[in-house]
Amino acid sequence: MHFKTLLTTCLLSSLCIAVSAQDNSADSLRRDFGRMSVSSSRSTGTPFADTLDTENPGVKVILFSNGTFRYVKDPKAAAESKVFTEHWDTRAVNPYHEEKSLPDRFSLWIVDTLDSYCCPNKTRPSSQFGYRHGRPHQGIDLPYPTGTPVYAAFDGKVRVSDYVGGYGNLVVIRHANGLETFYGHMSRRDVESGDWVNAGDVIGLGGSTGRSTGPHLHFETRYRGYAFDPAWLIDFETGTLRHRLMRFRSWYFNPNSRYVMTEEDEDEINRGDEEQKKLAEEKAKKEAQARAAAQRATQKYYTVRSGDTLGKIAKKNGTTVKALCRLNGIKETTTLQIGRRLRVQ
């Protein structure tokens, strides 16, 4: 099967069409692609050459012209996911109106091998989750000098970007697992509702707008409208994500329930890690298969004809004699037999 024939996958072609309408430069293509993709890998600045399908219809491999590749979630598949359509309200802070309680226990993948994470701010929180002066504080406050960039914690789609009462300038991002992260009191918002963001993208600047006594970032984590202490997920002092696979209990969503690491939880979470390890191993195996296919697809061969020289072959195939020698383990002085297959890419 020729993977190159997959060049016209809807993913790439629809993007090309969308982008060529305004600006056809590789830069613009890369920028828009990066925006739509849910993967957080940083752009290498290399134009991409092709896309390949994988066993998972929601996942593609992008081949770059320098032979490297990376996985991306198909933005079309992500856009069609119910997570980004149901209870999607660009104005309401909490669009989950129904009084549906959460199960006693459930697990969520926080990041998988295609998603990424960026700590909003590695610092000791200045105010914790839970009741404060008799009113619930649904997030955690992180010291944040005005004008400091605020980063998206995970890949996702901006649901709300608005000035909202006590929150001031607020951005709410919904993530593919259904979690939402809130970023409040910003001095400036740099994203709009509907924007796709990657972990680590700048979404605004720190500030003190709304009900705030000084510059800080009010950071919330919610699931189906229910807030829980972000410290269950993130150790802000070290900046690390505690677990890739998070096991929740319904009491985490009590407005007064702060993060505590008990031995029992630790045991449970470790068991979760075992489960995660198994799943991660299966994923790694599938990825290795896709990687092998990607590598095969980047290889190109040329059959030597009468009158060919290494110089001519290199020119015809847009490469150099040196590269040909390296790829085929030959010397510049090697005699080329007619009919020999040389790898040119």
Q: Which residue is nearest to Zn ion (CB)?
A: 218
CB of residue 88 vs Zn ion: minimum separation in angstroms? Answer: 25
The residue (of 196 and 226) whose beta carbon lies closer to Zn ion is: 226
Cα–chain-centroid distance for residue 163?
26
CB of residue 190 vs Zn ion: minimum separation in angstroms? Answer: 21
The residue (of 50 and 141) whose beta carbon lies closer to Zn ion is: 141
Using CA atoms, how far apart are residues 225 and 179, in angstroms rounded to an integer?
Answer: 9
- Tokens of residue 250, six digits: 């319904």
Cα–chain-centroid distance for residue 337?
49
Kind and range of the H or E element at 310? helix 310-316
Q: Angle 194-197-287 (CA atoms, 0-180°, nearest 5)?
A: 120
The residue (of 114 and 140) whose beta carbon lies closer to Zn ion is: 140
The residue (of 87 and 137) whose beta carbon lies closer to Zn ion is: 137
The residue (of 115 and 141) whose beta carbon lies closer to Zn ion is: 141
- Burial of 96 from C-beta contacts in 10 A (0-12 / 13-18 / 19+): middle
The residue (of 70 and 218) whose beta carbon lies closer to Zn ion is: 218
The residue (of 139 and 206) whose beta carbon lies closer to Zn ion is: 139
Q: Angle 103-104-106 (CA atoms, 0-180°, nearest 5)?
A: 70
Residues comprising the chain, all counted? 345
Q: Nearest-CA neighbor of 207 among 135, 137, 147?
A: 147
Q: Cα dihedral sign for 314, 316, 317, 319?
A: positive
The residue (of 132 and 322) whose beta carbon lies closer to Zn ion is: 132
CB of residue 192 vs Zn ion: minimum separation in angstroms? Answer: 24
What are the percentages of helix, strand and coil residues in the chain, rounded to 5? Answer: 30, 30, 45
Positions that interact with Zn ion (CB under 5 A): 139, 141, 218
All residues at 6 or more sequence positions from 20 whose CB lies less than 8 Å from its CB, including other chains: none
CB of residue 126 vs Zn ion: minimum separation in angstroms? Answer: 9
CB of residue 291 vs Zn ion: minimum separation in angstroms? Answer: 43
All residues at 6 or more sequence positions from 128 whose CB lies less than 8 Å from its CB, including other chains: 137, 140, 229, 231, 258
CB of residue 206 vs Zn ion: minimum separation in angstroms? Answer: 13
CB of residue 272 vs Zn ion: minimum separation in angstroms? Answer: 29
CB of residue 129 vs Zn ion: minimum separation in angstroms? Answer: 9
The residue (of 81 and 127) whose beta carbon lies closer to Zn ion is: 127
Using CA atoms, how far apart are residues 344 and 56, in angstroms rounded to an integer?
Answer: 30
Per-residue DSSP letters for 46-110?
Answer: PPEEEEEE-SSTTEEEEEETTS-EEEEE-HHHHHHSGGGTTT--SS-S----S-PPPPSEEEEES
Is 154 within 8 Å of 179 (Cβ atoms)? yes
CB of residue 127 vs Zn ion: minimum separation in angstroms? Answer: 6
